[in-house]
Amino acid sequence: MNKNRKLFLAGFDEESPLVMHCVSRVVDRQFLLGDEERDTFIQMMRMYEKFCGIRILSYCVMSNHFHILLEIPPRIEAVELGDEEFLAKLAAIYSDRYVQEIRMLMKKLNKNQAPKAMRELKEKYTYRMGDMSQFMKSLKQRFTQWYNKKHGRRGTLWEERFSATAVSAGRTARMVAAYIDLNPMRAGIVKDPMDYRWCGYAEAVGGDPLAISAYSHLHEMVERKGVAVSKVSDEEVMQEYRILMAEEGQESDPDALPMTQGQRASKTFKRRRGYSREEIDAIIEQNGKLSKSQLLRCKTRYFSNGAVIGSKVFVDGFLKNLKSGSNPDRKMAAKPMRRIKWNGKVADGKIFSYRDLQKDVYGSEI
């Protein structure tokens, strides 16, 4: 975003992070993104998030478009990255073999005391870091290559470059995040955003630490500059955010709105799906808390896909028998379930599971 950044971001503090809402649509707005495609897109999005040093605050991948709310840090200079930090970023999107080749080259440059050559080497990659345009370009291009190869097609997959809107960090950013997470509900795909696994909220409710930290960061943004951030737990952050979504996601009935005959005839007001007033009141009454059954459903929706849950001994025993009857070299291991409560206490590391397909963790599209 080099030239564009200076033009578009005039008036913004280059030393501070910037929040942007990016949207991109599939060519001709076709519904081309199925379950596997959306899973792969999110996986690639996380890869480039790590490589570029850009923070994903919220996202939603629909079948014909996607939204990403991201925080862009100040520009990253090559000299600021240590060798190991630089290599770790490369490892996010490049193969182990490629990274090892770069490591050997850097070792040679250090041995020969060639700082200029080292800087030029790093700059071949760091120019894409901390840059929204490069993040979006790299993500969309890599996904297009994967999609075209999988489906035997050629040409562009996206309707246009992408649209980007600067968002004020704070309450506005959190409201935009809620708008993004409410997309599948507004579209009538699910009755609650937590049931749509291709959005940030469902990922956070499912227990993903990266997604949870993003909503905690959004909460911290609400605090004014120079004022100490109030200490609240991740659980309290998600409860508060659920109430915000409920209030912002109320359904609207055009028949119940005061309209002129001209407005009614032009269909200016359309019915918007969302939470009913009764559902909103219930969420507020529950202080935004999800019931144990709701949390369990979000965390273990893969039960119907060959999953196992129980103690580590139980899961490991099951996997041992499963491996003996299939590929003995297949990597299979019991994974601790995060943020599950047992007798009122967090039972991290006490309950384990095995899922065959990670993409089925956060629910399925209705």
For 188-226, what is each residue's pLDDT tens digit? 999 999 999 899 999 999 888 999 999 999 998 876 544
Percent of the chain with pLDDT over 70: 70
Q: What is the mean pLDDT of the chain?
A: 79
Q: Is the pLDDT of residue 333 over 80?
A: no
Query: Packing angle between helix 277-285 and helix 234-248, nearest 10 degrees?
Result: 160
Q: Which residue has the higher pLDDT, 64 or 342?
A: 64
The answer to whether 129 touches 76, Cβ cutoff 8 Å, is yes
The answer to whether 220 touches 169, Cβ cutoff 8 Å, is no
Backbone dihedral region of 288: left (phi > 0), alpha (psi from -120 to 50 degrees) or beta?
left
* pLDDT 10s digits, 29-85: 899 999 999 999 999 999 999 999 899 999 999 999 999 999 998 766 655 788 999
Q: Is the pLDDT of residue 258 over 80?
A: no
**Residue 8 pLDDT:** 45
Candidates 167, 245, 155; CA nearest to 199 is: 245
**Residue 94 pLDDT:** 92
Residue 320 CA neighbour count, 13 Å, CB half? 6
318-322, long-range: CB < 8 A, 24+ apart = 318/354, 319/354
**What's the pTM value of the predicted model, to 2 decimals?**
0.75
Average pLDDT (164-168) is 88
Q: Which residue has the higher pLDDT, 152 or 231?
A: 152
Q: Is the pLDDT of residue 316 over 90?
A: no
Q: Is the pLDDT of residue 140 over 90?
A: yes
Least confident of 27-31, 66-70, 233-237, 259-263: 259-263
**Residue 295 pLDDT:** 78
The answer to whether 53 touches 73, Cβ cutoff 8 Å, is yes
Percent of the chain with pLDDT over 90: 48
**Residue 1 pLDDT:** 43
Token output for 257: 């709105």
Token output for 196: 């749509």
d(CA 356, CA 234) in angstroms, rounded, equals 28
SS3 for 182?
A: coil
**Residue 287 pLDDT:** 93
Q: Which residue has the higher pLDDT, 300 or 24?
A: 24
DSSP 304: G
**Residue 302 pLDDT:** 38
Rg (the chain; Cα; Å): 23
